[in-house]
């Protein structure tokens, strides 16, 4: 199957760096510099969308809540919001899911395990002929191997066709490209990325903060599955039992929590199945809150907090902020 490589050309960036590039070779860019795009392309979106999940003390999603159950704060100030549907209404809409799989050199001993994990998720969580799935791999390059489709055979072929890992890990670039190139244009507010990885980002031009912000801007929830280590005695090749969390795992946790998702640490098949089941439950039990932000539209970052007015022991998960669009310049 032909691999479609995701590239974004930045004319302004190339022009400004042309002389320097001719003087000395530079590493090929797998993603644009977000600040450059923000300067070149003013936007005028004036609706903030906040997908929300509520869970109980056991982590099970809670359905049946109404608009009156929620309070929404932006920069600590209450906002008037619309409640566009309970779980039953959102259930009618397709979910667009990007499955991002790490194929850096550290995955060479567990590539088959990651492929099985990706297929396990696709087959058990997505709804046949309704939910749309795209499959992307990342190492020192970011490759879209299958665009959004409901065809499970095409997805199976794309995942199974990964044969050789690369070298570096461009995780943040992969998130940026999936959100900016794919999630931004879909016709459903239900959007999620599932990242399957075992290592730290080592190659991206995009930073962790920028990856979080593009996910928040495109209303994309990130679920991260770390396959770095499993339980003691794990039978998965390449997985070391009892591995402790490191800086890479903490970054995955922040990616998930800042966007309203969840991070899972597992290299164990049974634990992996439980993680995918939990992701599926949360995707099926969302609420959607929308509101119109107030000016000034100056490109500043604004914090969002969604609270429950009642319900001891319940936890609300949503994106924690977004960057307000700049006012389009007057002609």
**% of the chain residues with pLDDT over 70:** 78
State residue 7's pLDDT score. 43
- DSSP string for 43-81: -----EEEEEEEE-TTS-B-----GGGEEEEETTEE---
Question: CB neighbours (10 Å) of residue 56?
Answer: 12
Indicate if the pLDDT at residue 33 is higher than 70.
Answer: no
* Average pLDDT for 95-108: 93
Residue in the block written with tokens 């590493």? 27
End-to-end CA distance of the chain: 47
What distance in Å separates the CA atoms of residue 238 and residue 117, rounded to the nearest whole number?
Answer: 14
State residue 110's pLDDT score. 84
What distance in Å separates the CA atoms of residue 195 and residue 263, rounded to the nearest whole number?
Answer: 9
Indicate if the pLDDT at residue 207 is higher than 90.
Answer: yes
Indicate if the pLDDT at residue 29 is higher than 50.
Answer: no
């Amino acid at each position: 199957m032909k691999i479609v490589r995701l590239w974004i050309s930045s004319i302004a960036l190339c022009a400004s760096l042309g002389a320097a590039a001719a003087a000395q070779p530079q590493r090929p860019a797998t993603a644009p510099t977000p600040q450059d795009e923000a300067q070149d392309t003013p936007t005028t979106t004036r609706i903030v969308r906040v997908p929300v999940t509520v869970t109980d003390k056991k982590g099970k999603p809670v359905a049946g809540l109404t608009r009156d159950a929620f309070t929404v704060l932006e920069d600590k100030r209450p906002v008037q919001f619309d409640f566009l549907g309970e779980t039953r209404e959102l259930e009618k809409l397709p979910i667009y899911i990007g499955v991002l799989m790490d194929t850096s050199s550290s995955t060479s001993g567990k590539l088959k395990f990651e492929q099985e994990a990706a297929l396990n998720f696709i087959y058990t969580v997505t709804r046949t002929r309704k939910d749309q799935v795209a499959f992307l791999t990342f190492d020192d390059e970011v490759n879209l191997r299958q665009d959004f489709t409901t065809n499970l055979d095409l997805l199976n072929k794309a995942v199974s066709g990964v044969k050789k890992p690369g070298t570096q890990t461009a995780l943040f670039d992969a998130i940026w490209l999936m959100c900016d190139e794919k999630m931004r244009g879909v016709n459903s507010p239900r959007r999620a990325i599932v990242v399957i990885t075992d290592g730290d980002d080592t190659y991206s031009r995009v930073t962790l903060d920028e990856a979080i912000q593009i996910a928040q801007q495109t209303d994309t929830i990130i679920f991260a599955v770390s396959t770095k280590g499993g339980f003691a005695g794990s039978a998965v090749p390449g997985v070391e039992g009892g591995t402790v969390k490191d800086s890479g795992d903490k970054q995955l946790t922040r990616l998930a929590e800042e966007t309203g998702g969840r991070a899972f640490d597992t290299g164990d098949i049974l634990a992996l199945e439980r993680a995918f089941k939990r992701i599926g439950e949360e995707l099926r039990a969302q609420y959607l809150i929308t509101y119109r932000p107030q000016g000034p539209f100056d490109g500043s970052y604004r914090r969002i907090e969604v609270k429950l007015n009642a319900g001891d022991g319940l936890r609300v998960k949503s994106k924690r902020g977004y960057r307000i669009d700049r006012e389009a310049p007057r002609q």
